[in-house]
């Protein structure tokens, strides 16, 4: 069996739909970053998103703002 520590970034990026805690409220760090990105994109900030939803929204806003 391959040691996962030998490839530390191999599983670092998971689909948010597969997250075990994806349905929990977004973290404080996610909320802060999402608020900043929302302001830069002149988009509405939704403070009710789950961790998974916030991650997907952050990715979309990063593309939109060129970050």
Q: What is the pLDDT of residues 25-41, one digit of tens each?
A: 999 999 999 999 999 99
Q: How far apart are CA 10 and CA 5, in angstroms?
A: 9
What are phi and psi for residue 64, nearest 5 degrees? -65, -40
Weakest mean pLDDT among 21-25, 40-44, 62-66: 21-25
Per cent of the chain over pLDDT 90 is 61
Q: Which residue has the tokens 């948010």?
A: 16
The answer to whether 54 touches 31, Cβ cutoff 8 Å, is yes
With b for 16 or more beta-carbon neighbours within 10 A and e for fewer, the 38-67 pattern comes to beebeeeeeeebbbbbbbbbbeebeeeeee
Q: Is pLDDT of 56 > 90?
A: yes
- pTM: predicted TM-score of the whole model, two decimal places: 0.72
Q: Is pLDDT of 18 > 80?
A: no
Mean per-residue pLDDT over the chain, rounded = 85
């Amino acid at each position: 069996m391959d040691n996962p520590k030998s490839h530390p970034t191999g599983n670092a990026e998971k689909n948010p739909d597969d997250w075990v805690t994806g349905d929990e409220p977004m973290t404080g760090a996610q909320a802060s970053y999402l608020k900043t990105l929302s302001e830069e994109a002149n988009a509405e900030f939704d403070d009710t998103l789950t961790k998974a939803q916030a991650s997907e929204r952050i990715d979309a806003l990063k593309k939109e703002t060129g970050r």
